[in-house]
Every structure is written in structure tokens, then in C-alpha cells.
Structure 1
């Protein structure tokens, strides 16, 4: 388990919480998004009385979310549905097709959650893969739609993931290397420590040990440069860069 200090919403609401191991692109993207004060404000407003489903969907569109997700909850404690255009490698689009080259979707134990939106039915599988059925009808023969675009290979990969899921593979969609995960975890920790008013030397000590923070001239120390890059990278990911994590899925 990894313990991180979370800055939630506008930064006024914090808590220390143990997290399940963060391994997927969706997990990391959510962790950075939920630290965005702007999204925290949208989430609070979207929970207000009188908000229509359509108005909430429109408010969430710029953030890449299909449905409202509570920013006070860490990855693994909230169901996050990304919009198909934001996460083409995580979302498979299925549409009604002729029976000779399509089939009914039989999910069985694969189905974790389903929700309806104005653009159709959205399914979330245990692996983290999403299925989007625009007409919302699972009783008809369906075929995967692979747009011929600049991300065709990404759409193809999502279709392969669906094939594996239907064959009983429930493993998380983990295509990040160990080094990439380590770097993203360090970025999250550096970001939270900076939000907690820690200076760069204190952040370095927390991430790399006291010896690393006290080695040589701090002003020219390579660890100092690393910490600065981590904090800057974290802020950029919170400000919208989390979409790049999803785009690479």
C-alpha cells in the first residue's frame, strides 16, 4: 500500500489515506485530475440541487469525464468513466451491425458497472476497460468500431483488450513500465508535499532520503533539479496534462 497526502478540491480539505497500488493510466490520470481546484469546484456545483443530467455532462466535458466522480475519493474508491474521445485506448465503441459479422455482447462476470448518459450506455469492466454502446441496446448484434484516424492503433489495442476480457482476462490495464509508475508516484508525492508548503530540500529528503538532500552544494545539487522538475511536471499534469497519460493508453 502507498500512503500519500492528498490535496482535495480547493486545497482546504486534506486527509492521509492508504491507497491501493496505483498501476493503471486511468488511476494516475484520476489522481492528478482530482487535485485540480477547478474540477473540485465543478464537482461541488454539479452536486447542487436542480442541475439537469445534460448540464452536468456538459460541465464535465472539458475535464474528459463522462460522469461525475467525487474528487475526495482516491483511485480504487471511485468509478471513473472517461469520455471516449479522451481515452481511446480505454474505451471500446460497439454499434449495431449485421449478424453475419457481429454478435451479442455476453459479459457475464466481466461487467462491473453500467450507466446511461445522453450519448448511450457506458459499461465499466473489472480490468478498467470501458465499453460505449451509443444505442444502449445490448440485445442486438454488436461490432467494434475502429475509426481510421491518427490513433487507429490505439483503438485497435482497446479492441484487443476487450477480446481478452471476454476470454476471462480480468487483469488491470497495466501498460506502464515500472520506471514510469515510479516516476508518476514520485511526481504525485512531490506535488502534495509542495502543496503542503514544504520547500524543495524538504521534498528531496522525503523522496530520496536526508543524505541526498544534504549532499554537496544544494544550489547546484542534481537532486534539487530533479525535485523542481517533479513539482513542475505534477502541476502541469494537474492543469490538464493528465490527458496525455490517457492518450498513451
Structure 2
């Protein structure tokens, strides 16, 4: 089951009329995703306004060729539909997935074309479209440059740091876990660059939890 809702609990869902799970054991609350599932068992569908790598599909104009259209290769069997259209995920060979939205009133069996608004996010959408087409053609898929390995590692460290801090760990204890006890012990802690780095991890981690995580869905480009 997918959900077009944000992980920030103080925000309303991004769309209305979405199905949800009701849990009597968790205070009788409604959940967009079954609370019994863990993060590896769920797929979150983001609003294309937030996730600029979402590929928007529309009808192919009559003047465009359709005999080699690749839309027949898309697996839309698990698409979920709302007032905006049908959402589904195209899974890549490495297990990653590209979010796809077939706009409302566009038939699943008709030839499709990508819709890319002429705005600063067009470069993001072009990159996502390139990865989708590469996958459909069976070619090597380019890396998603929004979240590099270095950014993934730092995001993991930020969450580790926040988790330690809210559970009462000192900055030094957090730094020892992330950077290693020997490195932390090799210089005076009060003037250590690792101390500053650890404090920054906690600060940035708290900002990410407060809503900054949505910045991971888009590239950082000069406007």
C-alpha cells in the first residue's frame, strides 16, 4: 500500500480521499500505512510538487509518433488512483524506484508522453525521465544524484546523533559512536573539530526531522 502523505505529523495529508488503516491498539488512530509494517516493507508516494523526480505522464499528441512508444513496458498493475491520476512505482534493476503519475483522464493503454513544466525543476524531471527511459530500454541506469553515498552516510549519522541525544547521551558519547573512541580520545574534546561536527549533526538532524527531510527529494540548484 502506498500513501501520498508527509512524514511530518503536524501536516495534513497532501491529497484527500486516500484509504487508510485504522488501529484500535494504537489509540484508535487512522494511519496512511499499516503501522505493523516497517520501513523496508512500505513505499511512500510523494506529491510531485515535493518529489521533483516524479515522472508525469500524459497523452501523446497526434502529431507525435506512437509506433515505438515505451509505455507498454510500464507495470501499472498496482497503480493507485485519486483525483490527480494514477500513481505507481517503476522498480529499477538496483531495487530503487521511480515514482510515476499518469494524469487523470489518460488511459492506461494509450501511448504516453512525459510532461515536464518549464520551470527550474525541469532539470530534475529530465534526469528522472532519462533514468526511466534507460531502464525501459534495458540500459545501464544513471545514478540518482539527489542523494549521493556521502549524503546518505551523513543523513544516517544525523539520525544516529539525534537518537543518542534524545536518549540522554552526551556529545562526546555520540561522537565516540560515530567517529570511533580512539579518534575522539586523540585530542582535547572541548577544542576538537569532532565536537563541532557532532553538534552540527545533532542540529541538522533535528532540522531534518522537523521537515527538512523533504529537501532530500530534490536537487540543490541555484535558482
Q: TM-score, normalised to structure 2's length?
A: 0.74
What's the CA shift for 1:187?
A: 1.4
What's the CA shift for 1:100?
A: 4.3
Aligned partners of 2:143, 2:38: CA distance in 1, in Å? Answer: 18
Whether the 8 Å CA contact 1:111–1:126 is kept in 2: the answer is no
Whether the 8 Å CA contact 2:131–2:141 is kept in 1: the answer is no
Match of residue 131, structure 1, among 92, 100, 123: 100
Q: Which runs of 5+ in 2 are unaligned?
A: 20-30
1:211 maps to 2:182: yes
In structure 2, the residue matched to 1:27 is none
Aligned partners of 2:39, 2:206: CA distance in 1, in Å? Answer: 18
* TM-superposition CA deviations, 1:8-54 (whole Å, max 9, x none): xxxxxxxxxxxxxxxxxxxxxx9xx75x5546xx79xxxxxxxxx82
- Three-state SS of the structure 1 residue aligned to 2:91 is coil
* TM-superposition CA deviations, 1:117-166 (whole Å, max 9, x none): 22110111113101111125211221111110111211211211221121
In structure 1, the residue matched to 2:168 is 197
RMSD between aligned alpha carbons?
Answer: 3.1
Whether the 8 Å CA contact 2:17–2:82 is kept in 1: the answer is no
What's the CA shift for 1:234?
A: 0.8
What's the CA shift for 1:181?
A: 2.3
Listed as ranges, the matches of 1:1-249 within 5 Å are 34=7, 36=8, 38=10, 54=16, 68-69=32-33, 73-89=37-53, 91-101=54-64, 102=66, 103=69, 105-107=71-73, 110=75, 113-127=78-92, 128-135=97-104, 136-168=106-138, 174-175=144-145, 176-248=147-219
Whether the 8 Å CA contact 1:104–1:138 is kept in 2: the answer is no
Aligned partners of 1:55, 1:111: CA distance in 2, in Å? Answer: 21
Of the two, which has the highest radius of gyration? 2
Aligned partners of 2:34, 2:154: CA distance in 1, in Å? Answer: 25
- Three-state SS of the structure 2 residue aligned to 1:186 is helix
The verdict on how the C-alpha distance between 1:132 and 1:37 changes in structure 2, with shifts beyond 3 A counting, is closer
Whether the 8 Å CA contact 2:72–2:109 is kept in 1: the answer is no
* TM-superposition CA deviations, 1:168-215 (whole Å, max 9, x none): 359695433332222222112112222222111110111111123333
What's the CA shift for 1:104?
A: 6.4
Q: Which has the higher contact order (CA 8 A, sep 6+)?
A: 1
Aligned length: 195
* TM-superposition CA deviations, 1:43-101 (whole Å, max 9, x none): 9xxxxxxxxx82559xxxxxxxxx93457755432111111111112x11111123442
Aligned partners of 2:86, 2:98: CA distance in 1, in Å? Answer: 14
Q: TM-score, normalised to structure 1's length?
A: 0.67
The verdict on how the C-alpha distance between 1:104 and 1:164 changes in structure 2, with shifts beyond 3 A counting, is closer
Please identify which structure carries the higher helix content: 1
